[in-house]
Structure formats: C-alpha cells, structure tokens
Chain A
Amino acid sequence: MSRALDLAERAVKAAEGDEADVSVHVESSGFARFAASAVHQPTLIRDEAVTLRVVRDGRVGCATTNRTDDEGLAEAARHAAEAADSSPVDPGFAGLQELAEVPEAEGYDEATAALTPEDQAEAAAAAIAAAPDLGLYGYYTSGVTELAVASTTGQAVSQTMTDVSVLTLAASDDSSGYAEATSWRASDLDPAAVAREAAVKAAQTHGATSVQPQTFRAVLEPYAISELLFYFAFTSLNALALLEGRSYLSGRLGEKLFDESFTLWDDGLDARSYPKAFDLEAVPKQRVLMIEKGIARDVVWDRRTAKQAGEGRVSTGHALAPPAQAFGPIPFNLAMSAGDAASVDELAERVGDGIYVTRLHYLGVVDPREGIITGMTRDGTFRIEGGKVTTPVVNLRFTTSFPALAAGLLGLTEEVTLVNRSDFYDERYPFGTLVPAVATDAFTIVGTGSGPGL
C-alpha cells in the first residue's frame, strides 16, 4: 500500500461523520533552478497534504492538514466536523463516489523517481553548458507525487506519478530564445538539447523591429498555443462555467464554432500526457470529446455540476479537491488533434505573410464569455514573409479571440508535443497539454512592446 493510501485510510477512520472521503497528496521533489547560467534558489520539497470531507446530516465540511500523526488527523477530523456542523444542509452535494474500479494508468517511472538532488543539479549543469555564449535561465525539476482517495463507501484508490521538466530561456541584453520539455520519464528529456534550442532561437532575435498592430495570419508554436488553449479551457470547457452562462460554449453546444481541423479532447489515460486514473473525488477518468471537427460537443464534469445539470449527467472524473471545487471541473489532460503539416516551416508557407510566435507571457482573460484573451509574445517573435520565417520582431501585445483563432486554422503539424502547464504552486500535480503547432488567419495584435532580451 502506498504512503498516500495508508494516510487516506487512516484519515477516513479518524473522520467524524455519517460519510467521509479523503484525498491525499504526498510530494517529494527538487528544483535545480538557475539564472544567468548560475545555480539560483535550488529547492527540495517534501510534504504531505490530507484533505478530509465529512458529511453530517446533509451538511458538508472540509479540513486539510499536513500533520499526519494520529493527533494531527484527529484534529483535522474535528475541524471538518465543526465546519459541517456550522453549515446549513448542502442541497448541491452529490454524495460520495460509490465503489468503482479505476483504470490502470501509466505515469510512473522508477528511474525518474530515483533521481537525487545531485542528479537534478547535474541535469541543470548540462543545460547550462549547452548554451555557453548566453545567459541561461530556468530550471530542471523532477518529482514523485502519490495521490490517493479513500472514502466510507469503500472506495480506495491510489496512483504514483513521476514528472520531470526542463525549462530554458537563453538570453543576452538584446536577444532571447525559449524552449522547454516535459515528460513522466526523465529518459525522454535531453536538457542540453532543450538549452541548445533556446540558444539557437535567441541568436535569431538580434535587431528586432516593430510591426503595425493588426490582425495577422500567424504560426504559433506548441508553447504558445498550449497556453492560450489552457486559458480558454479553464474558463470555457468547465461545466460550472457552462451552467452559469460564463463559458463561450454556454448555449452553443452542438454548433459548429471552429475550423473542421480543430478536434479537442481530454484523456486521462493517454500515456503521452501525464496519465491520471481518477480525480480527487475518486471518480474514474473518462475520455471527453469536447470539440469534434469544429463542433462544440461537451465540457468536463464533476459530481456536483453533473447533479446540477440533471438529465442523466454523470461526472467525467475532473473534480478538484473539495475546497477548490468552487472553480468547477478542470481538464488536466487536454489533447488537440494533429494535422498534416510536416513542420512549422510548412505552416509558415500556408501563412504566407504574417508573424511567428514562440511563446506567450502573462495572459489575462478579458472576456471569458467571448473567449477574448490578452497577453504578450516573447523570446522568439518573427515576421513571416513570402512563406518563410524571416526577421525578428519586438514583443507584441495581443488581445485576440480564441474562438476566432480556432475558427481560422490554416494548418496543424503532424507532430504533437506535451507542454507542461504547471507552475508548481501549492501541492505538486503534474499536468500538461498535448498540442501541435498551429497556423491561423486570426491572431490580433493591438500593441508593441520592448525588444527581446533581458
């Protein structure tokens, strides 16, 4: 039995209620962070977080603790009981997950789990050494996360995940390039190759010039489309947003909203992503087809939103832990269809004249109902002229409609890439999006910023 499941079952026994479920995160991770090609803020984390949800006479309360001795669990149980007793009956509570099989999921690699702080430091050093002419900024991180959920219904599930990411920004005062890679197997990653990709990109950004703001045809690398897609998904592919009318898909399910080449799904069992067997209510993960050939089909659901919707809806296995469920269910295994373009160069040919975007920065959702997102490009923005990527461009402010971007797709690459989407706040929970590079006829630039570089 895993440490996490043992903790979950002990906490269920400690719970004071008619029913209870417990989710547990156990994390052991290391960050070999670097800046200006020197080690910077290297951080090792060990932690355990136990979240109890108890139900007492239809009232629900939650408590979280990292004190995992008997006294700590008992105190958390008392706090959860007090929270429940203080609350009115919760008519929206959908009950606990009944006993159910969860699928086998990949996502654990012994060699990755065995990485030591010395290994992490060595991998960071390999990245730094691969970009000798520029300052290198970023990190190499690896971790082991045990998840478990147990409940008074008898459900007791656990999964151990590994994850590893290398992120590099190669930069000088007037140049910068970016590359990253992620996997649940460290052997999939070559930190030096990632750093070289960033350095090569940086070398192409000297002498950036401005462009006139307008709606451009554009190529977006996987790093860029991944971030836009996740912001759109967080605000629109979420059942709570759908039910509350805040989602772009509210009232539009069944309509053809995007280009026929745009198909999007969430599949927790896809071994190319960060596989997950169940959500934090212990509901088995289901594959959810959200966009099919441009037609809006569905969003992801948790037990609460499924109950709210009625009409036979069931959770698709996308719940957050109970205290965070106010955000609604979240698709953590987004995957976008591949296309037929052999490379980003072929996408540039389809664009003809436009811009090429490597990476985005600091996105903000201006209008979630219409899918309008703002942000900046950085670390590798170029003109596309005559079907070729040509000269570097300064950082650009975009305020663009994601639906218009996806309705105007000109092509997608054959290859899809897993892009890490975790910034490692709070408990470690590896997730990412599987995306191709894309070409679109609608990427709206509204302003220009500073040049590349530090």
Chain B
Amino acid sequence: MQELAGHAIDAAVAAGAGYADSRVVTRRAQLVATKNGEVDSVSDSETEGIGVRVLVDGAWGFAGDPRLTEEGARDAALRAVAFARASASRARVRVELAPIAPASGDYAAPVERDPVDVPLEEKIALCLRAEEGMRRPEVKITEATVRAMREQRVFRSSEGARVTQSFVECGGGIDALAVSDDGRVQNRSYPSAHGGSSGQTGWEFVEGLGLDREAPRVGEEAAALLTADPCPSGTKTLVIDAEQMVLQVHESVGHPTELDRVYGTEAAYAGTSFLKPGDLGSLRYGSEHMSVTADPTTPLGLGSFGWDDEGAPARRQPVVEGGVLTGFLASRETSALIGRDLGGSMRADSWSRMPLVRMTNLHLEPGAGSVEDLIADVDDGLYLCTNKSWSIDDKRLNFQFGTQVAWEIKKGKLGKLVRDPTYMGVTPEFWGRLDAVAGPEEWTMFGLTNCGKGQPGQHAHVSHGTSPARFRDVQVGVRQ
C-alpha cells in the first residue's frame, strides 16, 4: 500500500503538482440488525481504493479510484492534476498550506478482540437477547444492532510524510417503540439514539455496553411514555443527561468551531458559523463552567488517530476554556489563513472523498459532583435524557432539540415522567446559562457515526465525552 501511495505521488508531481498527498484505504465493515425477534439484516461490506489530492498553481484537485494497482494510482493522480489545472486557470486565490514536519510512523487502535472476527452467530445472539429484554405488551417494535469495522489507511505526501494506521471500531444499541391502542407512538433507546454508541477498540467495548442488562428499563420506559403527560412549556432549569449533552456539544460547539465554516467555505450546505477568526481568545462562549477540548488522543474515541488525513499529528487542543473561545478545529489551509498552527482535524470518510475539517473527539470537561447533586439544586425543572430530534440554524446559533424522555424536578427531587420534551436556545446565551457540570465520575464518552458534512456528502465518526450539566432559565416546549 505504501508503494502504491508513492506511485500516485510520483505521478502527480511529474504531471505538475506543486503538492500532492495520497491515501490508500481498505475497509471491512459488518452490521447485524435484529427486529422483533428476527434477524433484520446481516451484512458485510468491503471497500478499497486510493484518493489523491493535489495543488497545481495553488488550486486543489482530488480524484479517487477503486483500483489498488499502479494504473489505478497513476490514473487518480493524473485526473486530480487535470481537474486542478482546469480550476487553476480561473482561480482567484492561491491556496497556501501551513508548514508541518513530515509525518512518519504507525498507529493502531488498542484491540483485545477484533470485532470483525467475532462470529456472526454471537453478534446475532447478543442482539436477540437484548431485544427479548425489552418486550412488553405496549412495545410493538424492538430493535438491536451491533456494528464492527476495521480499516487500514496509508498516507504519503510529496513533502515526505509516510504513515500507516489501523483503525478498529465497534458498537451497538437497542430501541423500543411503544404504540398505544389509539395510535400514539413513543420510543426509548440505549445507550444512545440513532444507532447506539461506538468505540475505537475491540469487541470488549460492545460487551461492556450491557445491552441486555439495560433492555428491561428501555422497554418499561417506552411503555410508560404512552401514558405520560406532555412536557410542560415555559422557562425552566434543565439538567441534561450526558447523552443529550453529546448532541449539544456536537451541534453548538463542534460545528461552529470548524474553521472552514468560520471562513464561510461550507456556506452552501452545512452552513457557516456565528464565530469570526478574530473572536479567538476573546469571545465569551458560555459561563465559566464551560470548557471544551478537542482531543484525538483519547483512548477509544472514534476521532482518535496518530495523524489526521493530511499528516498532522494528533494533539489535545483546548477549544473553550472557562467559557472563552480559545481554539478552532482546523486544517493546514485554514491554519495558514488564520496565522496560527491549529491543524490536525482533517478527515475524509473514505478513499473517494477529499478530507474536510471535522470534529475528532470533542469533550465537555467535567466539573464536580453527581447528577443527583445537580438535581438537588433545582426547585422547578426538568431532567432531560436521550436525543430524539435536532435542528440548528446555518450559523449554529438558533437551535431546537428534543429528547425521548424527561422527568420533572420539584424541590430538588425527580418527579413524574413527561413525554415529548423540546427546548430551544441561542448558542452563546444558552451556554451562558450553564451553572454546573457533573464530575469525572459521571463523564461518559459516546461515539457517533452519522455526522454529515461536505459536497459530496461525507459521514464522520466522532466521539464526545460529557457529564450531565445544568442550565438555568431555558425555554422548554414550542408554540404550536
């Protein structure tokens, strides 16, 4: 694979590229899904190919080819150069890259038991067992999924970078859908909605999720939601669980701090950001309780690596410290624009896509105390758990998020279950209302595989570690 990557670099440079990098990727992934006690899908997929990125006269070009042959590598390189040259003649700006030392070395995810090699029978049995635990008369649909993936990625550049990385991921989740006789529908999920949670490690991660252990509670809560009262509207104090905080961090901190969005280059689809380059070091993002860190060195994180997809080394970088914006997620190109070395967040979802500025592992740093301590200091509020719906504007300011379930909090105690909670906010105002984050003992990391961005679209795998957090005076419910 290193040799093929080298062929592509040589061909690109010989054709006139001022800079070239290539990624050779092979990936195998499995998905097992069961539903209502039967296997819904057992699938196994493989993909491989080479992606070549070049700069010709300061203009980008990228091409991918599925053939892992010298011919495939050379064709990808020449097509990338031709596309860059076609663009370069009309380019208004010349792309500059912040300098980095050429990367060299290997990286491998820590794995006890390769999840792809775990027998499919074992995966199916786990799913069926977990499903069984969710069954109740009101629960009409039970689902369980587990996934496994391993990927080999080689990176080379015309600057001399030469890296080989091995990634292994697995994860799973369960869902219960309850339907009442009069057609009302409610659902509960564990450990996270929208496909569960994944980690970059071996099958031991899935075993540790305890899908079958949590299943009875998930089924009971889905059934109970059918007869729960609707969530009251009004201005409330919210305690938000770690899983929903993941979504909150992802949407209202992760995306707006992507420096390509800040510079506007994602405006047409994903959107821009309310942040400006000059806000670095001065903008108050939230209260003093808010600290957020990008850390691609976090063990088990889906965004962990040795080097990103342009050869920048993994390093922990603060994004928000004590409520003040102190970092951005960046590439070499955007680092050059801002004049600061902030790179290390360039990732592509496959060999056939160009790397983009992406989240890696973005964490809300823990505070102190337990979730019970957060609840104890609430006179009238809600405890919100597990994402159900989400939407946020193109500048990442105005959001509306919904959770699967909430419990009322009255005088420091959890009260009755309520259904269909939603809350709204404006990003810096909302984070300004943060008055407590639970401690390290409550800090949990979740891995998501569905973060969309780019044209053509790409799905990033990212992780977020969070603790439950408390926000004062938040608008709950929406006007209908």
Contacts and interface: CB of A to CB of B under 8 A. Distances in A.
Contacts of B35: 326
Which of A43, A167, A374 is most buried by chain B, counting CB atoms within 10 A of its CB?
A: A43
B264 A36 contact: yes
A361 B393 contact: yes
B389 A425 contact: no
B183 A446 contact: no
Interface string B40-83: 11111111110000000001111111100000000000011011
B179 interface: yes
Contact of B92 (A38, A48, A121): A38
A395 B66 contact: no
Interface in B157-197: 177, 179, 183-185
A68 B68 CA distance: 11
A378 B395 CA distance: 10
Interface in B376-399: 388-395, 397-398
Interface in A52-83: 60-68, 72, 75-76, 79-80, 82-83
B464 interface: no
Interface in A74-130: 75-76, 79-80, 82-84, 86-88, 90-92, 117-118, 120-122, 124-125, 128
A169 interface: yes
A449 B44 CA distance: 44
A363 interface: yes
B175 to A, nearest CB: 11
B458 interface: yes
A364 B392 CA distance: 9
Interface stretch (A135-143, A222-230, A333-341, A342-350): A135-143
A449 B393 contact: yes
Interface stretch (B119-127, B305-313, B407-415): B119-127
Interface string A12-49: 00000000000000000111110111111111111111
A48 B67 CA distance: 10
A311 interface: no
A352 interface: no
B43 A64 contact: yes
A251 interface: yes
Contact of A63 (B43, B87, B265, B353): B43
B267 interface: yes
B400 A80 contact: no
Contact of B38 (A88, A376, A444): A88
Nearest to B479: A446
A204 interface: no
Contact of A62 (B43, B83, B119, B272): B43
A43 B392 CA distance: 28
A423 interface: yes
B268 A167 contact: yes
Contact of B391 (A92, A244, A374): A374
A424 B453 CA distance: 11
Nearest to B82: A117
A86 B121 contact: yes
Interface string A380-405: 00000000000000010101010000
Given A90-B38, A121-B86, A135-B264, 19 more contacts: A36-B263, A42-B84, A44-B83, A47-B352, A62-B43, A66-B48, A87-B42, A88-B38, A138-B455, A141-B456, A361-B271, A361-B394, A366-B389, A366-B422, A425-B458, A448-B398, A449-B395, A449-B397, A454-B272
11 contacts: A46-B65, A46-B66, A47-B64, A48-B66, A62-B42, A82-B44, A171-B264, A376-B392, A449-B393, A450-B395, A450-B398
Q: Which 7 A-B pairs have the closest CB atoms?
A: A86-B120, A424-B456, A425-B457, A449-B398, A39-B87, A35-B265, A121-B86
